[in-house]
Structure 1
Amino acid sequence: MGLKESWNKFFNNHSETSDNHWDPELNTHYFKTTKDKAFDTVLRYFKQQSGCEINSTSERHGEISVNYKGKRRAFVIATVVMVKPFKTAIDFSITTEGGLFDLGFSHKLITKFYADLQKEMQVLDVHSQV
């Protein structure tokens, strides 16, 4: 991680995942499941989390938006996309409220969400062929 990446990680109020992220923890996670099952799992996960209030859902677009009211307030968008049968990608975009930076809070929240979802669904290696 270079100086620019370190700066962005701690002195920014937004983090999001992508396929080739500079930080391996924020690479898109793929799960061995269908889009519908993954969407239902993510939706159920946020409904069960204290401090999470679901704003809206679009099963057609695979998006769930959540107001997170934990240690810090944040706006979360979870996107669920089926890449091929039984290979579904889940991405997160998180923007924290208040202040100009979040000291890595949005980054840590994404890694927490992924860790929790891996307990519910089987994660695939990014390079696996299913």
Structure 2
Amino acid sequence: MGFKDTVQKYMSAHTETRENHVDEKLKTHYYKSTKEKVMAEVEAMINQKKGFKVKSTSPEHGEIIVRSDQGKKIFMVITVIMVRPYRTAVDFAVTTDTPLFTDFGYSRKIIYEQYKNLNGRLTFVGTGIGDNLTQGF
């Protein structure tokens, strides 16, 4: 992890997952399921979490928008993409509403927690494996 990544990790109120993230826990997670089932499971998981509320769902775009107004206020965008049959990717983008320039890792902690819960609900395949999916096509 470079200097820029370290500073950004601790001095930000926004955290996103991506395919090639330096933090292994923040790499895109893949599940053995369909897009529809994953979206339904993510929605159910969010609705069970106290204080979190699904504001909108766009099945055609694979996006779920979530707000939390209890405790620290957050805005979360969850993206679900089926990359091939029974291989679905899930990414999170979390922004904390804070008057400071940092949320002291709160947005990162939210993503860790969401992935942990989702891994228990669906068949987890791996992280950051998108580059391997295109081989052989």
Q: TM-score, normalised by structure 1?
A: 0.93
Deviations 1:65-108 (A, max 9, x none): 01023441110000110000010000000010012111111111
* Aligned twin of 1:124: 125
Superposed, which structure 2 residues align to 1:1-130 within 5 Å? 1-98=1-98, 99-126=100-127, 127=129
Q: CA RMSD in A?
A: 1.4
Deviations 1:40-60 (A, max 9, x none): 000111111101011111011
Aligned-partner SS, 2:88: strand
Deviations 1:11-65 (A, max 9, x none): 1011000000111111000000000000000011111110101111101111000
Which shifted more, 69-78 or 14-23?
69-78
Taking the aligned partners of 1:55 and 1:109, their CA distance within structure 2 comes to 17
Q: TM-score, normalised by structure 2?
A: 0.88
Give the number of aligned pairs.
Answer: 129
Gaps of at least 5 residues in structure 1 are: none
Percent of residue pairs identical: 37
Aligned-partner SS, 2:61: coil
Gaps of at least 5 residues in structure 2 are: none
**AA aligned opposite 1:104:** G
